[in-house]
Amino acid sequence: MKAFRKQNPPAICFIDDEREERERFKANFAKEGRFEVGAGATLEEAVRNLGGRRPELFVLDMYWANPPPDKSELEKIHAAYQQLRVAIDNFDKVLRDNRQSITGGLTLAEEVKGEYKGAPFIFFTRKGTLDNAWEAMHFGAREVIRKPTPAWSERDHVSLMQAYDEEMDREAGALTDQFNRIIKTSKFSHRHGGLLSAVATFAATQALNEGLRELGWGG
């Protein structure tokens, strides 16, 4: 009688310039066999930390700073984020003052597209705006997903890092479902892309012929 082989969990790469974010992500998504996670500050480091497995999904931070922001800078950015809906101009100024730029995330996406053709990638950001999301989707991102972020009133008596940890823990289950859906959709499209294209072409041709017949031009 054949023994069933345990299926490996999906392999995903998480790339973020902040060490705390990488640790937080891995702590939540590598536990209980949800995913095999390779996390790093660069594409090479994250892939290397997967131990030879090919990534099935890339989760990319959108805003990057060089050097990474310290805790006091993170506090400023978080405070500005809470005011985003009523003070978008102020938020953009704080990002610029703290050396935050979408360029790092887009450059990273170019690396992924060049080295892992066809592998899906998403942006995972706490600071992205609607304009950033449009730019990311135009760049080929499957989705732009907001990093779990607590409301300011919920973290009055805890540190910012602890509040981030708690919010990530609360939302990890829903995010796991989202990541798995993207991976499965990508696999189906990759395996059956030719068939889907043929079906779409056939449907379009049928619709065109029907229209021509209604105009009296069909056979």
Domains of the chain by start residue, with CATH: 11-70+100-214 (3.40.50.2300)
Residue 186 burial class via C-beta count within 10 angstroms: exposed 0-12, middle 13-18, buried 19 and up: middle
Amino acid at 145: I
Q: pTM of the predicted model, to two decimals? A: 0.63
Q: Comparing C-alpha atoms, which of 118, 9, 104, 131 is closest to residue 58?
A: 118
Q: CB–CB of 168/28 below 8 Å? A: yes
List per-residue pLDDT tens for the chain, 219 residues long: 555 566 889 999 999 999 999 999 999 999 888 999 999 999 999 999 999 999 999 999 988 877 777 888 888 888 777 766 666 677 677 777 888 878 888 999 999 999 998 899 999 988 877 788 888 888 899 999 989 988 766 556 678 888 889 999 999 999 999 999 999 988 755 555 454 445 444 454 555 455 445 545 444
Q: What are phi and psi of 122, to 5 degrees?
A: -130, 160
Instruction: Pull the structure tokens for residue 43.
Output: 């594409």
37 three-state secondary structure: strand
* Residue length of the chain: 219
